[in-house]
């Protein structure tokens, strides 16, 4: 095989070799697993002996000590067997995974606790709990006599109306903030940042004073609650969409502009489709922000034990509001109903998340709608 020579006439230097050269393996080998497990067992045994001799009983402190000693032992072992670079790489990997699991444990614990406490109530007389209302609620009644059907209808309608109002406005506002560098855009950005950190009760009181109070007793409705939720959702969608749209490569905009596409067409056919998955994530985050809120619903929807399919007239029920009202009742059956409503709320939010992920699952180059030229009638697949 011919060896290429450098301009100076000498052969190019061979790539460096040795145990300090990073050669990341694609799979987790049994030897690496044995090294990790052995280090963990050694750290656990050492810490347990020290705590036992000292007579100290502190489970949390013991866990932290085991983890820190494990990092030390595992780091020294990787350094002696594989070199410094492998040691740094594996310690970083172990630390990242450990912190991720530590952050995941509380979330999984809460969800599992809600499922354990609420699933038996919701599935006791399936599907009665999912379509019955609270008109038969009584302190001594059974949990199988009532349900959260009216609350499900109110939650879906209110969150749906809030999404219809907030998502287009949020994406348009984010596009304006990315594309414009004027003083007005900076002012709008500061307002969005201020709205992001505002508490939920502020939005509820704002809609109550501007919409509900002027209409007296007829002011409370599902639409009023949806307005409060939309105001809450707007800054979340705007700020997240702004970050997503801003990372779209500028070369795509330049290529479309070089082909003669106007600015609005670049945004509609290039920028937004490229950021589709990120925009779906922004919508999901906005829904997660408003789906479990109680204060705006309490001020503006009012609650209702019966079905109300019309969100524009009359008070309407809501799952978070129903949970809030049930937990303050003294009867044990009401507390069980609150757990069942919490389970249904978690299930409903999960369904919304799955639908949002499905909508944004297709890649940037895949379109669900076909654009037709009016002049020739042929499919327009260009920019």
pLDDT digits (tens, 9 = 90+) for 259-281: 888 888 888 888 888 888 888 88
In whole angstroms, give the CA distance from residue 161 to residue 70. Answer: 52
Q: Residue 248 is part of a domain; what is its CATH number? A: 1.10.3720.10
Model's pTM, two decimal places? 0.74
Residues 105 and 235 in one domain: no
Q: Which residue in 82, 98, 84 sits closest to 43, CA to CA?
A: 98
Cα of 370 vs its chain's centroid, Å: 30
Q: Which residue in 272, 160, 286 sits closest to 232, CA to CA?
A: 286
**pLDDT recorded at residue 304:** 87
DSSP states of 348-374: HHHHHHHHHHHHT-S-TT--SS--B-T
Residues 65 and 167 in one domain: no
Residue 364 lies inside a defined structural domain of this protein:
no
Residue 47 has pLDDT above 50, yes or no: yes
Domain enclosing residue 185, as ranges = 131-359
Residue 191 has pLDDT above 60, yes or no: yes
Q: How confident is the model at residue 144 (pLDDT cuts 50, 70, 90)?
A: confident
Residue 199 lies inside a defined structural domain of this protein:
yes
Residues 143 and 204 in one domain: yes
Question: pLDDT tens for residues 338-367?
Answer: 999 999 999 888 888 887 777 766 555 455
Residue 373 lies inside a defined structural domain of this protein:
no
Residue-level length of the chain = 383
Residues 192 and 285 in one domain: yes
In whole angstroms, give the CA distance from residue 76 to residue 107. Answer: 33
**pLDDT recorded at residue 278:** 86
Residues 207 and 66 in one domain: no
Residues 34 and 136 in one domain: no
Residue 368 lies inside a defined structural domain of this protein:
no
Between 27 and 315, the higher pLDDT residue? 315
Residues 290 and 317 in one domain: yes
**Which of 113, 146, 167 is the last residue in one of the domains?**
113
Residue 121 lies inside a defined structural domain of this protein:
no
Question: pLDDT tens for residues 54-80?
Answer: 888 888 889 899 999 999 999 999 998
Residue 24 lies inside a defined structural domain of this protein:
no
Residue 135 phi/psi, 5-degree rounding, is -65, -25
Burial 57-89 (b: 16+ CB within 10 A, else e): eeeeebeebbbebbbebbbebbbeebbebbbee
Residues 92 and 160 in one domain: no
Share the mean pLDDT of the chain.
Answer: 83
Six token digits for residue 379: 């499919």
In whole angstroms, give the CA distance from residue 39 to residue 75. Answer: 9
Q: Which residue in 350, 354, 338 sits closest to 122, CA to CA?
A: 338
Residues 51 and 189 in one domain: no
Residue 338 lies inside a defined structural domain of this protein:
yes
Q: How confident is the model at residue 226 (pLDDT cuts 50, 70, 90)?
A: very high
DSSP states of 18-81: STTS----SS--HHHHHHHHHHHHHHHHHHHHHHHHHT---HHHHHHHHHHHHHHHHHHHHHHH
- The domain tally of the chain equals 2
Residue 123 has pLDDT above 60, yes or no: yes
Residue 372 lies inside a defined structural domain of this protein:
no
Residues 92 and 213 in one domain: no
Dihedral of alpha carbons 265, 271, 272, 276, sign = positive
């Amino acid at each position: 095989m011919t060896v290429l020579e450098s301009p100076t006439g000498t052969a190019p230097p061979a790539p460096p070799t040795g145990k300090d050269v990073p050669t990341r393996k694609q799979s987790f080998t049994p030897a690496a697993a044995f090294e990790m497990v052995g280090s963990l067992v050694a750290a656990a045994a050492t810490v347990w002996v020290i705590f036992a001799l000292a007579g100290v009983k502190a489970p949390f402190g013991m866990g932290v000590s085991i983890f820190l000693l494990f990092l030390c032992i595992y780091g020294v072992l990787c350094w002696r067997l594989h070199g410094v670079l492998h040691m740094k790489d594996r310690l970083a990997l172990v630390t990242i995974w450990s912190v991720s699991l530590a952050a995941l444990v509380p979330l999984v614990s809460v969800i599992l606790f809600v499922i354990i406490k609420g699933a038996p109530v919701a599935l006791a007389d399936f599907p009665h709990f999912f379509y019955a209302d609270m008109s038969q609620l009584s302190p001594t009644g059974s949990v199988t006599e009532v349900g959260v059907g009216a609350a499900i209808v109110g939650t879906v309608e209110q969150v749906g109306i809030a999404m219809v109002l907030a998502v287009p406005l949020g994406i348009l506002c984010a596009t304006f903030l990315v594309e414009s560098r004027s003083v007005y855009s900076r002012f709008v950005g500061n307002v969005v940042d201020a709205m992001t950190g505002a508490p939920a009760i502020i939005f509820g009181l704002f809609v109550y004073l501007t919409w509900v109070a002027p209409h007296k007793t007829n002011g409370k409705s599902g639409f009023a609650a949806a307005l409060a939720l939309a105001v809450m959702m707007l800054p979340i969608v705007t700020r997240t969409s702004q970050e997503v749209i801003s990372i779209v490569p500028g070369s795509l905009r330049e290529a479309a502009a070089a082909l003669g596409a106007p600015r609005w067409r670049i945004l509609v056919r290039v920028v937004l489709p490229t950021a589709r998955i990120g925009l779906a994530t922004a919508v999901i985050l906005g829904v997660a922000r408003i789906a479990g809120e109680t204060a705006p619903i309490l001020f503006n929807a009012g609650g209702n034990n019966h079905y109300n399919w019309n969100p524009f007239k009359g008070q309407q029920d809501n799952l978070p509001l129903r949970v809030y009202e049930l937990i303050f009742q003294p009867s044990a059956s009401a507390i069980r109903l609150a757990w069942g409503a919490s389970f249904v709320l978690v299930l409903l939010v999960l369904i919304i998340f799955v639908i949002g992920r499905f909508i944004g699952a297709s890649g940037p180059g895949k379109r669900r709608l076909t654009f037709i030229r009016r002049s020739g009638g042929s499919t327009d697949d260009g920019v």
